[in-house]
Structure 1
Amino acid sequence: MSEQRSKVLVCSKLTAVSSHPVEPGKTHLLTPLDQAMGQHSLHLVFYYEKNPFRSFDWDPLRVSLSETLSLYSPVTGRLTRGEAGNWEVKCNDAGVRVVRAKVSVRIDEWLKYANGIEEKDLAFWEEMPENPNTWSPFRIQVSEFEGGGIAIGINCSHMNADLTSLILFFKTWTEVHQQQAIANPPVFSSALHGRPLPKANTKSAKYYVTKSIAEAPSVKMASTTFKFSNSVIKQCLSEIRVNCPDATPFDLLAAIFWMSVARLKGSKDEHTHSLSICIDFRRLLKEPLPCGYFGNALHFSLLSLREKDMIPGELGHVVDAVHGHLVGIKEEEILSAVGWLESQKGEGGKFAPPFRMYGPELTCVNTEHMVDGDQSLMYTAMFEENVKPAHVAYHVGNVAGEGLIMVMPTPEEGLARTVMVTLPEDEMVKLCEDESILRLEPTRLLSGGL
């Protein structure tokens, strides 16, 4: 982090530990899917317009964090190599790195004028060193804005957790802070290890084979965030109801942005465009994983359409294709992909090296599972009653290739959604001028300089 040029000034760094010691010798095993996510990291930033801690008082926050960490022993542990050479977490209660910082602008100015690169200063991160024995795989940053308001950034290695796990950890922290019952207690059992895995001959397993050897060009990327209102999404869904009566906001927005990015590339008529779709599969198995399952429960699958299907007049067709693809993902597809990862063990039981899961194709992340009715899981994370996050940002580290699209809930109830987009810099400039997106009158956040 460049502190000289940054509007974010680090004030202090410390280590938070659990309020109850971990039993000696405890370890947390990582699944094949966890191991495969090793090239990526996760970065969440929760923005609150009102500082619930009153004048940056750290003590109440520290106490509730320590109590929360007592429930999450893998979070305070350290990554180490097991007997076969695979990563596991040594639950030694070494603690979580915590950074406190101040931001030299108001929170409304930041959300309007800052960009995705600057936002990384609110979620301090250090890449895993060759020897991670003293490296904290989870990091937290609390930043206070001028005039009130805070941002709380949480980072972790993607091997340790996925987005759902990280959000539930944060939400548990807010529940402990308010002395409320924990809605989704963490579950650390290796639930995926004990399930029969089908043979790796499905489309998903074959896609993972291709993904594991694919290379992505390294280009300068840019990010911006589009916020779409409930009324606009409702109107758009009604317009394509004939083609896809059961379409979700994700189906619609994934199709719109996929088509827009495809047009930027200006391919020939016979060209095929592909979209990698990432979903959470906790609820999709016949024996569902608990919502609080801590680890990775993500499935990547590939949808391809021809160039002639990606023209503006075919929006309803593309929405229907996205929806039908998601509905068609069954347990066999999901478990066969996990089974393929398991089958890649070498001599002695060591897993194959991790590969880029987000890419090289354009990747779109679906978070509809976090919306229950009109309520969004991430926007119910409140340290003080009725003080909801004003915005939640989500980034994945080491994204390369064609880019990343994340469709997420907003503070507004109903069908409103936020779309966070990371693309090669030259394509992002063009996307921000795309008429099919601008006609939906989005509010742009964190896109300064574009």
Structure 2
Amino acid sequence: MVSSEEQNSIYDIKISTVSAGLISGNNAVQELTAMDLAMKLHYIRFVYYFKSPTFDGLTILKIKETMFSWLNHAYIPCGRLRRDESGRAFIKCNDGGVRIIEAKCRLSLDEWLGSKNDSRHKHLAPNQVLGPDLAFSPLVLIQLTDFKCGGKSVGMSWSHVLGDAISAVGFINLWAQVIAGHYPAQPLTKVQQQNRAFDFQNPNPSPDPLSTKRVGPVGDFWSTSNHTKMEAFSFYMSPTELTRLQEQICGEKGDEQIPVFECICVVIWQCLAKVRDGSGQEVVTLCQNDLKTRQKGNITNESQTIIVVKTCISVGKHTPSELRSLLTNKSNNERLKIEESMGRDDALPDFLIYGANLTFVDLSDASFYEMEVRGNKPVYVNCFIDNIADEGVVLVLPAPKGCSDGRMVSMTLPENQVAELKLVLEEDWCIA
């Protein structure tokens, strides 16, 4: 839980809205793909932390002036949701704007980051969801928090219906580029639905994909409640630790090396199975992005793979090397199944994907630390995915500035499993 000191340290909150300085969307309509709508209940939140003098001398008025220019090149996230005659949601590019929250913190940046409680970050990123008034709900919210030392955090809430985490990072990084006077040749664009042939008349349709959990229907309030209280925590893994884990997992096969992401998946999967006595751990979901196939300037949910890995026996009976083989050789990409399920019913189903199974998300290559404001990069970036199902989510993130080429591992799991998981990680893998 968040300490009372942290909870009461945020004050002087002000709310406003900023949109493009020019009429930019021309009231156009942006259709949403099946994958967009499949991800609609999830929200990506992250917080960038900057030390002084990054924002020194930049008043809120000057900051908003840079945002006017920024949003001229990013008008789709400024839109609002509407429904067509069939009830399917789409984005009306009406320059409705981005919600801005200004706040102050009684603590210094070092005091804030010195806390070991990951839940504190949630106070610096807006936690709103879409609805129940969809037509008036901003798709993006940004919180600017001033610390007493002169540091500042930039927190953002990004509706996953717009695009994945890579899209969200590209959006906020564009603002930093505009602050520096660098403008893109074209505005951010959204990938359209690819035409695929699905047999929607099949009298025996396939069951829902293993990677999804059907909920709702949620109507115009795009949120769900967890049956279990969740807790967030994170830890850093150095290159030396990762190399050691890779050697332990590969065992005698010294000439083979498991990729870093899959290495972390093996460790967490096995440890959580031990904590949960193997219950419900036969299936996990891996979410990854192929950055080579993405076009610069796109916001999209179309580039993320949703891979399901399944074992027919208890995870505890597998060696780490066997789990590694499952992850690397026996995977099933369910993207097409999800798209088919979204189009099968007359009324679109409401799904949760993150946390439907224990879900691993590879954000190792996300350019969090490439955001540069007036020559300064963030000293730390926290990222989490909100509105997830009860099995939990594990994010594999790039290491903070100055921590070489390791990884940050950020988890959101049932609260009653966190303490025992930490103990198993330390006892079985020497991860503190």
Taking structure 2 as the reference length, what is the TM-score of the superposition?
Answer: 0.85
Counterparts of residues 9-28 of structure 1 (less than 5 Å)? 9-28=11-30
**Could you give the per-residue CA deviations for residues 360-402 of structure 1, whole angstroms, max 9, x where no partner exists?**
32111112443xxxxxx111111122x2222211122212322
| CA pair 189-174 structure 1, distance change in 2 beyond 3 A | same
2:407 counterpart of 1:417: yes
| CA pair 441-194 structure 1, distance change in 2 beyond 3 A | closer
Question: Of 352, 358, 371, which residue of structure 1 is paired with 2:348?
Answer: 352
Question: Of 68, 86, 89, which residue of structure 2 is paired with 1:87?
Answer: 89
Give structure 2 stretches of 5+ with no counterpart. Answer: 217-224
Shift of 1:125: 2.6
Question: Of 314, 318, 321, which residue of structure 2 is paired with 1:316?
Answer: 321
Opposite residue 305 of structure 1, the aligned amino acid is T
Question: Of 45, 48, 55, which residue of structure 2 is paired with 1:46?
Answer: 48
| CA pair 194-274 structure 1, distance change in 2 beyond 3 A | closer
Distance 2:389 2:339 in 1: 26
Counterparts of residues 10-409 of structure 1 (less than 5 Å)? 10-54=12-56, 57-113=59-115, 115-180=117-182, 182=184, 186-190=188-192, 193-197=193-197, 208=209, 211-213=212-214, 218-241=227-250, 242=253, 245-267=256-278, 273-280=282-289, 283=292, 288-297=293-302, 298-305=304-311, 309-310=315-316, 314-325=319-330, 333=333, 336-346=336-346, 351-370=347-366, 377-385=367-375, 387-409=376-398
Distance 1:51 1:83 in 2: 52
| CA pair 51-170 structure 1, distance change in 2 beyond 3 A | farther
Shift of 1:170: 0.8
Shift of 1:305: 3.0
Shift of 1:33: 0.9
**Could you give the per-residue CA deviations for residues 175-229 of structure 1, whole angstroms, max 9, x where no partner exists?**
1111236599622241xx234356699xxx7552673447996011111011111
Contact 2:394-2:411 at 8 Å conserved across structures:
yes
Distance 1:266 1:244 in 2: 33
Opposite residue 417 of structure 2, the aligned amino acid is E
Shift of 1:438: 8.2
Shift of 1:40: 1.7
SS at match of 1:302: strand
Distance 1:132 1:47 in 2: 31
Shift of 1:440: 4.6
Shift of 1:409: 0.7
Distance 1:295 1:437 in 2: 41
SS at match of 1:355: strand
Contact 2:281-2:358 at 8 Å conserved across structures:
no
SS at match of 2:351: coil
Contact 1:43-1:123 at 8 Å conserved across structures:
yes
Tell me what 1:447 maps to: none
Contact 1:244-1:320 at 8 Å conserved across structures:
no
Shift of 1:50: 3.2
Distance 1:35 1:233 in 2: 36
Opposite residue 343 of structure 1, the aligned amino acid is G
Taking structure 1 as the reference length, what is the TM-score of the superposition?
Answer: 0.82
The total of aligned residue pairs comes to 414
Contact 2:7-2:123 at 8 Å conserved across structures:
no
| CA pair 183-266 structure 1, distance change in 2 beyond 3 A | farther
Contact 1:107-1:149 at 8 Å conserved across structures:
yes
Shift of 1:318: 2.0
Give structure 1 stretches of 5+ with no counterpart. Answer: 371-376, 443-450
Contact 1:14-1:99 at 8 Å conserved across structures:
yes
| CA pair 135-217 structure 1, distance change in 2 beyond 3 A | closer
| CA pair 167-419 structure 1, distance change in 2 beyond 3 A | same
Opposite residue 282 of structure 2, the aligned amino acid is H
| CA pair 306-122 structure 1, distance change in 2 beyond 3 A | same
Distance 1:224 1:183 in 2: 40
Distance 1:354 1:59 in 2: 40
Opposite residue 283 of structure 2, the aligned amino acid is S
